[in-house]
């Protein structure tokens, strides 16, 4: 993932995703950032990139949630319990102060200890359905290759940040959820490759989040909105 900012910065993030790494006690996503001198191209430093990946991905979901969900934000549901789940729990709570959160078990004690100071509570759900029912905002942060979120479970007006999935970027949500949503992404260029399967179920990628932010595109009324974060 290359990036250049005028004469100020030049860098590239190299990132891999190996979903079975947890069996080896390793993070599944591993990132390193190469920073170069913007005037000469000389390599200056190699930085650990996992921290930034967590912060940036969750921050993008916060921005998308601000832009796409205008209703009450009482209840946050997160499917998944890894790095992105935790980053999303922190970032969305920080931005919106949810009253209730449903999270997978292994992070709950940690999140309770770190978040309870601001009155946030985290609960464990035994099923994905229980987790997302009544949620105002849902984040999916897994490697699920089959849908883990079903249309009949979600209430009208919900906003979904679809973050995970790995190989097939639209496998976490079921077809009906897509067909009843407006899908916004971070990059149309990436979506034309990574979300091309949505065309097979008649679902267009409606806009880039940047077009919503700069008000060149408006979101029509729908059952729900999906921010498909691809990481570009
Ligand atoms: N959109 C973006 O910009 C980014 C997306 N990702 C994606 O987000 C996802 C999560 O990444 P991390 O949190 O770093 O990984 P992680 O390995 O820390 O966590 C993955 C979580 O997903 C759960 N999981 C795996 N397969 C599942 C299944 N079939 N059903 C339900 N849960 C399942 C695991 O138990 C674990 O809790 C990955 O798909 C990764 O590729 C990661 C970084 C940036
Ligand atoms: O943007 C990112 O860093 C990633 N997207 C998918 C896996 C890692």
Indicate which atom in ligand 1 lies nearest the CA of residue 28: 17
**Ligand 2 center to 169 CA (angstroms):** 11
Protein residue whose Cα sits closest to atom 4 of ligand 2? 231
Rounded to two decimals, what is the model's pTM?
A: 0.92
> How much is the pLDDT for 119?
63
**Ligand 1 center to 7 CA (angstroms):** 35
pLDDT at residue 127 tops 60: yes
> How much is the pLDDT for 78?
92
Domains and CATH numbers, the chain: 2-48 (no CATH), 53-228 (3.40.50.720)
> How much is the pLDDT for 129?
95
CB 209 within 8 A of CB 57: no
pLDDT in tens, 173-225: 999 999 999 999 999 999 999 999 999 999 999 999 999 999 999 999 888 99
**Ligand 1 center to 40 CA (angstroms):** 37
Protein residue whose Cα sits closest to atom 5 of ligand 2? 231
pLDDT at residue 128 tops 70: yes
Indicate which atom in ligand 1 lies nearest the CA of residue 232: 3
Ligand 2 neighbour 231 (Cβ under 6 A): yes
pLDDT at residue 115 tops 90: no
**Ligand 2 center to 163 CA (angstroms):** 9
**Ligand 2 center to 70 CA (angstroms):** 27
> How much is the pLDDT for 82?
86
Q: Looking at per-residue confidence, does 24 or 125 come out higher?
A: 24
Protein residue whose Cα sits closest to atom 11 of ligand 1? 84
Give the end-to-end CA distance of the chain in Å, rounded to a whole number: 7
pLDDT at residue 232 tops 80: no
Q: Is the ipTM of this complex over 0.90?
A: yes
pLDDT at residue 109 tops 90: no
Ligand 2 neighbour 15 (Cβ under 6 A): yes
**Ligand 2 center to 176 CA (angstroms):** 26
> How much is the pLDDT for 177?
97
CB 136 within 8 A of CB 160: no
pLDDT in tens, 12-62: 999 999 999 989 999 999 999 999 999 999 999 999 999 999 999 999 999
Ligand 2 neighbour 207 (Cβ under 6 A): no
């Amino acid at each position: 993932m290359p990036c250049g900012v005028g004469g100020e910065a030049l860098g590239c993030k190299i990132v891999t995703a190996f979903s079975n790494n947890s069996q080896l006690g390793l993070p599944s996503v591993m990132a390193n950032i190469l920073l170069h001198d913007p005037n000469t191209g000389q390599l200056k430093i190699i930085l650990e990139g996992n921290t930034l990946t967590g912060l940036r991905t969750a921050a993008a979901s916060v921005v998308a949630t601000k832009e796409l969900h205008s209703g009450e934000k009482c209840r946050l549901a997160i499917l998944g319990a890894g790095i992105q789940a935790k980053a999303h729990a922190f970032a969305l709570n920080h931005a919106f102060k949810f009253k209730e959160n449903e999270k997978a078990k292994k992070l709950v004690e940690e999140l309770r200890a770190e978040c309870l100071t601001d009155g946030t509570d985290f609960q464990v759900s035994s099923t994905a359905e229980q987790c997302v029912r009544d949620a105002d905002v849902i984040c999916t942060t897994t490697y699920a290759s089959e849908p883990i979120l079903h249309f009949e479970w979600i209430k009208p007006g919900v906003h979904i940040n679809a973050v995970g999935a790995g190989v097939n970027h639209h496998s976490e949500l079921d077809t009906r959820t897509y067909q009843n949503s407006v899908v916004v992404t971070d990059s149309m260029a990436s979506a034309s490759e990574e979300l091309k399967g949505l065309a097979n179920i008649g679902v267009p990628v409606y806009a880039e989040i940047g077009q919503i932010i700069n008000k060149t595109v408006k979101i029509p009324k729908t059952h729900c909105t999906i921010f498909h974060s691809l990481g570009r």
